[in-house]
Structure 1
Amino acid sequence: MGKKYMFAEKLKNLPLLGIALALVFTILVQCKKNKEIADQSTNQPLPQKKDSLVETAAPKPAIKYTSMIFSAKKKDSAMVAFNKQFSEEDRYTILALNRLDSKNKWRADTLAIPDKIDHTLMMYSPFPTQLDVLKEVKKMVFFSYPIQAYALYENGKLIKWGPTSMGKKAAQTKRGLMFANWKKELAISTVNSSWKLPFNFNIHNTLGIGWHQYDLPGYPASHSCLRLLMNDAKFMYNWADQWILNKGGATVKANGTPVIVFGDYQWGGKKPWKNLILDPKSNDISVEELNNIINPHLEKILEEQRNREEVVAQKPTEVKPAA
């Protein structure tokens, strides 16, 4: 009877024994998994936090261009069709891409027309959206002679670009590094007193070079100044920083926003923006090209920026901007 009792007790304990074994097995399996995960994590590099200033920019959307021809014999009818097909805002955008303003649209012979319309123009930018070399530079302006366009950067990020008409062949705009000086909401040209120059911002005082609103005829046509559309001239007038003069106004205490004018125009050749019809990237300026243009001037740009910050930090009575 004793043996039967002991056997019966063993049978009663079997379910508890099975549960215990199952629990032990589960723990062992989980420990193994945890070890495998730990091993994987030690063999893989930790994800690095991306710096927004050096993060690779998203690729631009693909744009295709078609041509609209304004032949001499049918220019009027072609212009009627252009006006009918596109809204006023769309026409403004298309003309800007072809370095024309509304006043000079009659000069069009062949327009490059994008298949997508972006009234900010940013979708069509020939300039890189990011320049890491400028990440410490608060504001930077570029004017490209080859493609007759300007670009504005803040800490290396492209914030705006647009068309320009720079100095004609006989009166070319000075190349190189300059700084924004004084500004005047409505200036009078020293070449012809009948020429009114809205939102004029001087960048070379002795040569009288500045950017301002004036006609965009679709080619370099100025007397060395940098012509802009009205909206662009007004934006840049408010965005860029002026110089700061010493007491009395005879000498410069701190320079304004840095400006670089670069490259050469293909005088007498095909207008560069017409090449977009066959190659939408034909006007693009690479990061490497702009780096090569910036690097010789970078130390000077940063030095002037530091000096300006020190001057601005002084008491207001010690800072005298240009009138």
Structure 2
Amino acid sequence: MKKSLILFSLFLILFSCQQTPPTKKVRKPAPVRHQPKSVAYQLVKTKEWLATTTDSTQFSIALAVNRTDRKNIVKMDSIVIPTDMTGDIAYYLPFPLEVPYLNDVDKIIFFSYATQTFAAYENGQLVYTGPTNMGRKADPTPTGLFHTNWKAEKTTSTFNDEWDLRWNFNVANKLGVGWHQYELPGYPASHSCLRLQEKDARYLYDWADQWILKDEEHVLVKGTPVVIFGSYDFGAPKPWLQLTSNPKALDISAAAIEKLVSPYLKQLIAEQLNRAKLQAN
């Protein structure tokens, strides 16, 4: 009997040693994506292209590449179109698929002013990306590190009470800046907010974390980090027109992302641990 108990105890010890330690993160596998054979672009007449295109996936790619939406693409004389549209949308937008420097960051979102695109990462893996139209010249979007705080499925603009904003997620509470669904004319046109297509605004609305408040004046835990960076040359042609001559003209490297995040990394990890501790209690 004693021998059986000893063997059973040894089995339990060996089995427990093979298990993943409770503090070790189990990372999600990289998203499965379909890569196009090549990435190149051409400038085409909008009406002609729309008249011959019925594929919804290709239409979505065209909207993203031209930083616009269904309502506004028809107003454009010419648009930039990939010559091979068989790939996933991530291959036609500038953010890298992986950023190893972010391996320990659970969630983070980037908005690029220069390219008018955004990207969401989980532990260094790109999980979602799309177009945005940010602040116009007179009302630029502030840059730097922010965190998501409060959100609302529908709210009213502080600039015009006739503007209904869907899937609004605030990132700068005192400044009133956040992302939300609103029309994308294909250039920075907002009053400092981050305009998105509705499907993208809804995704980020569900994906990002809100802050956790102790009371009306004190924040216990900040929300998902949001890095807004770069600048837009309002006097130059739309940047994505460069893609027709250089498909990599707007690419954002993993090294560039690392440089952006490195001043904040310790702060981000501390906030992340703070959230984990609070949620564990």
Q: TM-score, normalised by structure 1?
A: 0.74
Match of 1:242, SS state, is: coil
The CA RMSD measured in Å over matched residues stands at 2.3
Q: Distance in 1 between matches of 2:219 and 2:77?
A: 46
Deviations 1:172-230 (A, max 9, x none): 11100000001100011011000000000000000000000001001000001000001
Q: Distance in 1 between matches of 2:108 and 2:182?
A: 22
What residue in structure 2 maps to residue 312 of structure 1? 279
Q: Which amino acid in structure 1 is aligned with residue 77 of structure 2? A: D
Higher relative contact order (CA 8 A, sep 6+): 2
User: Is 2:181–2:201's contact at 8 Å kept on the other side of the alignment?
Assistant: yes
**Which structure 1 segments of 5+ residues have no match?**
1-50, 70-77, 315-323
Matches within 5 A, 1:60-79: 61=36, 62-69=38-45, 79=47
* Partner residue of 2:133 out of 140, 165, 170: 165
* Partner residue of 1:258 out of 225, 243, 266: 225
Query: Which piece of structure 1 moves more, 89-98 or 254-263?
Result: 89-98
* Bigger CA radius of gyration: 1
Alpha-carbon spacing, 1:266–1:59, altered in 2? closer, same or farther (3 Å) = farther
Match of 1:170, SS state, is: coil
**Which structure 2 segments of 5+ residues have no match?**
1-25
User: Is 1:93–1:119's contact at 8 Å kept on the other side of the alignment?
Assistant: no
Deviation at 1:110, TM superposition (A): 2.4
What residue in structure 2 maps to residue 234 of structure 1? 202
Deviation at 1:170, TM superposition (A): 1.0
Match of 1:216, SS state, is: coil
Q: Which has the higher helix share?
A: 1
Report sequence identity in percent.
43
User: Is 2:116–2:134's contact at 8 Å kept on the other side of the alignment?
Assistant: yes
Q: Distance in 2 between matches of 1:59 and 1:231?
A: 21
Matches within 5 A, 1:120-135: 120-135=88-103
User: Is 1:110–1:274's contact at 8 Å kept on the other side of the alignment?
Assistant: no
What residue in structure 1 maps to residue 174 of structure 2? 206
Equivalent pairs, count: 253
Question: Stretches of 4+ moved more than 3 A in 1?
Answer: 58-61
Deviations 1:239-283 (A, max 9, x none): 00000000x332110001000000011111021111111111111
Q: TM-score, normalised by structure 2?
A: 0.85
Match of 2:180, SS state, is: strand
Deviations 1:89-117 (A, max 9, x none): 12232022101101111331321111222
Q: Which amino acid in structure 2 is aligned with residue 298 of structure 1? A: L
Q: Distance in 2 between matches of 1:295 and 1:60?
A: 30
Q: Distance in 2 between matches of 1:266 and 1:260?
A: 19
* Partner residue of 1:219 out of 176, 187, 211: 187
Deviation at 1:88, TM superposition (A): 5.6
What residue in structure 1 maps to residue 262 of structure 2? 295
Match of 1:260, SS state, is: strand
Q: Which amino acid in structure 2 is aligned with residue 103 of structure 1? A: K
